[in-house]
Chain A
Amino acid sequence: MSGGEQVIDAPATRARKRGRWFLIGALVVAGSAFALITAGGIGKNLVYYWGPTELHAAGDKAVGATIRLGGLVAPGSLSRNSSGSGLEFDVIDRQGGRVHVHSTSVPPQMFREKIGVVVEGTMTTAGTFESNRLMVSHSNEYRIPSEDARVDVKKLMKSTNGLEPEKGKP
């Protein structure tokens, strides 16, 4: 507007132009970081747990190594060990994989059949997964008791994390 204001604005205008270069630089860095994480290989290397199928595919690599196994507690597979040294159950995934688990930790109260679990431990040569840390993975469903009858196993499995490798697959 007036000449006086322009004089005062002069350093600010310079800073503004520098700021825009910084903005472009920041957006380029942020954009490439995002692209690297989403499209690049980083995502595939960040594995929190393996499903039973992936565990079997790993073969001998899973024996002795500390790994996490995730999946659904198979219906009808849960039992207390007769010697009282823990729990026995099978963990299944949607691809039909099944791993027998022996867990020596006290499970949280939410633990039951047909619920998602993540167990930490290792595979034995006998084919049993020995675990000393059991975590219950809750689905994204929250129901009042009367509506619970409608929830069938298939739906539970569908909503349990990690059991869907890709959306849309049966």
Chain B
Amino acid sequence: MSVDDRVKPSAGPLPYALGAFGIGLLLWGSVWGLFFAPRETFMGDVQRIMYIHVPTAWNALLALTFAFGCALLSLWQGGWRWDARLEGGLEVGVVLSTLLCMQGSIWAKPTWGVWWDWDPRLTTTAVLVFAFAGILVLRRMVEDPGRRAVWSAVATVVAFVDVPIVYFSVKWWNSLHQMQSSPATVSSAFHWPLRINAFGILFLMSGLIALRTRVAALRLRGELAPPPEPVPGPGAVPSAAAFMLALQSVPLSGQLQGGWEFVVAAYTVSAVVLLGYATSVYVRYRKERTRQALEEAGGQS
């Protein structure tokens, strides 16, 4: 059978290099943002959550846009390579979108006063998470690789409609979430940590997608070559930390005092989710490689 030869994942160090560079940038940008950038006039230290939340948002939408592109090419060209990339983009996009909601929630409590509200931006983002997580579930449930590829690609194209809606939701409708900021509405002192972290997540995300694509490609090779063997994968679900804040008498000065616990929470959650997910992808990659090696050795003897 030559059909499985079309999914030939490389074993080069590129994903690790991308990931390590991304983590390095994230450390640089975050230390700058947390300890060296000035405080915001009204939001004080809590505004520092911006340096991780906004880059997560940009890259989550980018990862899902990548998945959309893969879905189009998968349907148009019909190859397995795009199916493997689709899986990589989908999963990384879902992890980033989920992380986005967690960071946003931690930021919302001290500033807006609530953890969550069903405003257009938050609602459409929740729809995004559930729609794309649903596609991942669909991929796990459909055992035939051909049907799985077509169905999940079609679902991705349809679900992608929500991505521009999430982006424009704050422009089209009244919402609790503010509109997009621009360099003109953000002090220049805040720009660099934001940019560095944006590229940090971009590189880390690219590395994760590349490695996760290899996991999918290796599994597809096994599935397409007889005998097929089901491979269990650990579904790491990040658990949200619960925080309580008793609001006492408010001075009505409009200036947010303290709130470092929220900043620490947002960065801790981000680090745990990103590094935990990276570890999970790496473990799955090693597992697939081992399984593949065993299978090939077994086939030869």
- Chain A interface (Cβ < 8 Å from any Cβ of B): 5, 8, 12-13, 15-16, 18-20, 22-23, 25-27, 29-30, 33-34, 37-38, 43, 46-51, 70, 78, 80, 105-113, 115-116, 118, 133-145, 147-148, 159, 161-162
Contact check, B176 vs A112: say whether CB atoms are below 8 A apart.
no
CA distance in complex: A73, B76 (Å):
53
Tell me whether A43 and B173 are in contact in the complex, defined as CB-CB below 8 angstroms, given that A30-B158, A30-B160, A140-B180 are known contacts: yes
- Contact of B233 with A by CB under 8 A: no
Candidates B75, B172, B250; contact of A111 at CB < 8 Å: B250
Contact check, B165 vs A37: say whether CB atoms are below 8 A apart.
yes
Contact check, B247 vs A18: say whether CB atoms are below 8 A apart.
no
User: Given the complex, which residues of A lie within 8 Å of B252, measured CB to CB?
Assistant: 78, 80, 107, 111-112
Q: Which residue of B lies closest to A54 (CB)?
A: B174
Across the A-B interface, give the 5 residue pairs with the lowest CB-CB distance, nearest first.
Answer: A112-B254, A16-B78, A108-B113, A23-B75, A162-B174
Candidates A12, A22, A147; contact of B154 at CB < 8 Å: A22
Contact check, B158 vs A109: say whether CB atoms are below 8 A apart.
no
CA distance in complex: A47, B120 (Å):
9
In the assembled complex, how far is the CB of residue B42 from the closest CB belonging to chain A, in whole angstroms? 6
Tell me whether A141 and B114 are in contact in the complex, defined as CB-CB below 8 angstroms, given that A48-B175, A112-B254, A161-B174 are known contacts: no
Tell me whether A26 and B154 are in contact in the complex, defined as CB-CB below 8 angstroms, given that A107-B250, A136-B111 are known contacts: yes
User: Given the complex, which residues of A lie within 8 Å of B42, measured CB to CB?
Assistant: 110, 112, 115
In the assembled complex, how far is the CB of residue B100 from the closest CB belonging to chain A, in whole angstroms? 17
Task: Choose, from B21-29, B135-143, B185-193, the stretch at the interface.
Answer: B185-193
CA distance in complex: A14, B181 (Å):
48
Q: In residues 104-128 of chain B, which contact A (Cβ within 8 Å)?
A: 110-114, 117-120
| Chain B count of residues within 8 A CB distance of the other chain | 65
Given A18-B150, A148-B41, 5 other A-B residues pairs in contact with their CB atoms under 8 A: A112-B42, A112-B254, A161-B176, A161-B177, A161-B178
**B 240-270 to A, binary, CB cutoff 8 A, 1 in contact else 0:** 0000000110111111110100000000000
- Chain B interface (Cβ < 8 Å from any Cβ of A): 1-3, 38-43, 47, 50, 71-72, 74-78, 110-114, 117-120, 146, 150, 153-154, 157-158, 160-161, 164-165, 170, 172-182, 185-187, 189-190, 247-248, 250-257, 259
User: Given the complex, which residues of A lie within 8 Å of B170, measured CB to CB?
Assistant: 161
CA distance in complex: A16, B118 (Å):
41
Q: Which residue of A lies closest to B109 (CB)?
A: A108
CA distance in complex: A147, B259 (Å):
22
Q: Which residue of B lies closest to A78 (CB)?
A: B252
In the assembled complex, how far is the CB of residue B258 from the closest CB belonging to chain A, in whole angstroms? 9
Contact check, B187 vs A43: say whether CB atoms are below 8 A apart.
no
Contact check, A141 vs B181: say whether CB atoms are below 8 A apart.
yes
Q: List 26 A-B contacts (CB under 8 A).
A: A5-B2, A22-B75, A22-B150, A26-B75, A26-B153, A106-B247, A106-B248, A107-B250, A107-B252, A108-B256, A110-B111, A110-B255, A111-B250, A134-B113, A135-B113, A135-B114, A136-B112, A138-B111, A138-B178, A141-B181, A142-B50, A142-B190, A144-B187, A147-B41, A159-B178, A161-B177
User: Given the complex, which residues of A lie within 8 Å of B173, measured CB to CB?
Assistant: 43, 46-48
Contact check, A34 vs B112: say whether CB atoms are below 8 A apart.
no
Candidates A16, A70, A143; contact of B187 at CB < 8 Å: A143
User: Given the complex, which residues of B lie within 8 Å of A50, measured CB to CB?
Assistant: 174
User: Given the complex, which residues of B lie within 8 Å of A18, measured CB to CB?
Assistant: 150
Contact check, A140 vs B72: say whether CB atoms are below 8 A apart.
no
